Amino acid sequence: MLNIRKLLASLCAGAVLCVSGAMPVYAETAETQPETKPETYEDGMFTFAYVDGGVELYACDSSALAVNIPETTDGYKIVSIGASAFYGCQNLKSVVLSDNIQKIGEAAFMGCSNLIKINVPESVEEIGNYAFYGCSSLESIDLPDNLTAIPEGMFYNCEYLQTVDIPENVESIGLGAFYNCALLPTPKLPETLTTLGDYAFAFCYAIDKVELPSSVTTLGAAAYYGCINITEFTLPREMENMGYMPFMGCVNLAAYDVEEGNASYVVEDGVLYNNEKQVLYAYPAGKKDESFVIPEGVTAIQDAAFFSAVNLKEIQFPSTLKTVGAGAFEYCEGLTEITLPQGVQAIHDNAFADCTALHTVHLPSSLSQIGNYAFYACPKLLSVTLPDQFDKETLGSYAFGYTDGNEVDADGLPIPVEIEGFRLKGGKGISAMTIALIVLGAAVLVLIIFLLVRVIRKTQLTAEEKQEMRETAEEEELKEEDKVYVKILDSMQLDAPEEDETDYEATIDPPEDTVDDDDD
C-alpha cells in the first residue's frame, strides 16, 4: 500500500530532494496576458478580438452552461480561442468548436471543473500550455492528427480523464502534461515520440506498465513519479538522457530492463546502471530480495536510487564506493545495520533518512561530508561515532539524533525534535579546554590593551595633570596606610583604659607659710 507521507516528504522543499525543473503550479502572469488589450466587441455571451485572418474568441460569460461556437460572427471567421477565454467557467459542461478553429490558446479552458465533453476539430494545429488544466470532470477527448506536441500541463489535474488518443505525429509530451490523471490507463505512444518531459505522467495511478517507443531519447525527471501500479519498465534503444528519479515512488516496480542496442545503460539483476557500471542509477523499489550486494566498480549511488525499497534488510557496499546520493536509501525501513567502506567521502542529504529499523552505523575515516538530515528520523539509531578526523563543524543540520515533532512550522512541515538518549561521539571540533583557553587569552589581551592605554595616556599628560596625579596618588597611599594601621590594631585587640567610676573632685592644698626663725 502506498505511503502518502513518503511521497509528500520527498516533494517538500526543504526537506528532502530537489528535482530539476520541478512541476510548477500554473498562475496567470503578465507574461501570459497581452501587454495591451486588443480591440474587442461583444456578441451575445462572447467577446471577440480582431486578429489576422478573422477574429478570436476572447472571453465567455462565466455563467455559460453549454456553448456551440459558430464558424463566423459578424462576417468574420472565428479562427482561434484566446488565452484564458473560458478561464474559471465552472458551470460549463460542454463545448462544440467549429472547423475554422486553428489555435486553442494558453489556459483557454483552465478551471472548467465541470466540463465533461469537448471536441477538438482536425483544423486545430496548435494548443497552448495548460489549455485544459483542472478540467477535473473531463473523461475523454479526441485530438487532431496533425498535432505535433502535447504541451506543458495540457491535462494537468484532469483526474477523471480515461480516454485520450495521442496522435501519430506527436514528437514531444511536455512538462506535467498528464500530471495527476489518476484514472488514465497506459496510453499508446507514437513511434515519432522523442521527448517525455518532467512529471509527464506523474501520479497516473492506473498506468501499470511503460511502453516507450524505441525513438524516445529523453525521459524527463520524475516522469512517472508516484505511479504505484507500474511493475515493469524497459529503457528504449535510443534512450541517452534519463532524467532525475523518473520512477521514484513506483513502489511495485520489480525490475528494470534495457532494449537491445542501448549504448548508455545496462541492467544486471533488474538493477539499472550506466554503461560503465560506475553509477548505480536505480534499484526497483518493488524487488522482493531482502539483501543486495552492490558490485565492485560502482563509485556512486544515484540520488533516490533505493528510495522506499522496503523489502531490503541488508546491503553490502563495494570498496570502490565514493558517494552516496541524496535520499539514496530513504524509507528503506528494513535496513538494520550499514557499514560504509574505506574510501567513501560523502553522504548527501537524507541519504538514510526514515530508515526506522536502522540501529547501527559504521563510518569510515575517509568520510569528510555528511549532509543535512542524512540519518534523520532513525529512532533506533541511538549512538553514532564519527571518524576521528571528521570536522564536526561541517556536519549537516539534523544529520543525526532528530525526528519529526508534533508541532509544525509556517509551511506545515514538522519541526525536528531530539531523539531521547541519542549520543554523538568522536570527530574533531572545539573542546571545552580550547574554549577556556580562548576565553583566558581574550581576558589577557583586554588587560594588556588597558595597561597600554594607561601608559600612553601618562606620556601625554601636562605638568599640572602629572602634579595632580601625584598628589592624588599620595592621598591614596596615606589612606591605604591608615587602613593598614587599623587592621594591625584590630589584630592586636587593643582596648582603651577603663575609667574609675568613682566621682571625685581634685583639690590642691596651698603651701603652708613658713617662718624663718632667724627673722623672729
Q: Which three cell numbers stand for residue 342?
A: 574505506
DSSP secondary structure letters along 79-141: EEE-TTTTTT-TT--EEE--TT--EE-TTTTTT-TT--EE---TT--EE-TTTTTT-TT--EE
Q: Are 175 and 220 in contact (CB under 8 A)?
A: yes
The predicted pLDDT at position 88 comes to: 86
For 460-482, b where at least 16 C-beta lie within 10 A, e where not — what string? Answer: eeeeeeeeeeeeeeeeeeeeeee
Long-range CB contacts for residues 332-335, cutoff 8 Å, separation at least 24: 332/306, 332/308, 333/357, 334/290, 334/310
Please identify which residue in the block is written with the cell numbers 587602613.
483
Report the chain (520 residues): mean pLDDT per 10 consecutive residues: 40 38 46 63 90 94 93 93 94 96 97 96 96 96 95 97 95 97 95 97 94 94 95 93 89 94 95 96 95 98 95 97 97 97 98 97 97 97 96 95 93 93 86 61 79 68 70 74 70 53 48 48
pLDDT value for 510: 53
Q: Give the per-residue pLDDT at 245.
A: 87
Give the closest residue to 92 by CA, choosing from 132, 63, 130, 56.
63
> Pick from 115, 122, 119: which is nearest to 138 by CA?
115
**Measured between alpha carbons, how far is 415 from 397 in angstroms, rounded to an integer?**
13
Inter-residue contact 384 to 408 (CB < 8 Å): no
Domains located in the chain, CATH noted: 44-138 (3.80.10.10)
For the beta sheet containing 271-274, the strands, ordered from the edge strand earlier in sequence to the opposite edge, are 265-268, 271-274, 279-282, 300-301, 323-324, 346-347, 369-370
Cβ-contact 151, 179 below 8 angstroms: no
For residue 449, the model assigns a pLDDT of: 81
Integer Cα distance of 212 and 235 in angstroms? 7
Q: Which residue has the cell 539509531?
A: 381
Burial of residue 310, with CB atoms counted within 10 A of its CB: 0-12 exposed, 13-18 middle, 19 or more buried: middle
pLDDT at res. 2: 37
DSSP state of 396: P
- The pLDDT of residue 450: 74
**pLDDT at site 20:** 40
Grid coordinates 538514510 are at which residue?
352
Alpha carbon separation from 127 to 27, 278, 482 (Å, rounded): 18, 42, 103
